[in-house]
Amino acid sequence: MSNHDYHLIIIGGGPAGLTAGIYAARAMLDAVLLEKGAQGGQVMTTDWIDNYPGFPKGVSGFDLAEQMEAQAKRFDLQVKMATVTKMDLVGPTKTIFLEDGSSLTCRAVLIATGARPNQLGIPGEAQLTGRGVSYCATCDAPFYKGKSVAVIGGGNSAVQEAIYLTKFADKVFVVHRRDSLRATKIVQEKAFANDKIEFILDTVPTEVVGDESGVTGLGLQNTKTEETSSLKLDGVFVLIGIRPNMEMLPLDQLDNDQGFIHTNTEMETSQAGVFAAGDIIYKNFRQVANAVGEGCTAALSAEEYLENNE
Which residues belong to the active site? 136, 139-140
Interval 258-291: pLDDT, tens? 999 999 999 999 999 999 999 999 998 888 999 9
Bridge partners (DSSP) listed for residue 97: 86, 103
pLDDT surpassing 60 at residue 2: no
1-15, 59-73, 104-118, 222-236: the lowest-pLDDT one: 1-15
% pLDDT > 90, the chain = 85
Cβ proximity of 217 and 209 under 8 Å: yes
Distance in Å from the first CA to the final CA of the chain? 8
Per-residue pLDDT, averaged over 153-158, amounts to 92
Q: pLDDT-based confidence at 3, cuts 50/70/90?
A: low
Full set of structural domains in the chain with CATH: 6-116+242-308 (3.50.50.60), 119-238 (3.50.50.60)
pLDDT surpassing 80 at residue 54: yes
Question: Considering the entire predicted model, what is its pTM?
Answer: 0.81
Q: pLDDT-based confidence at 95, cuts 50/70/90?
A: very high
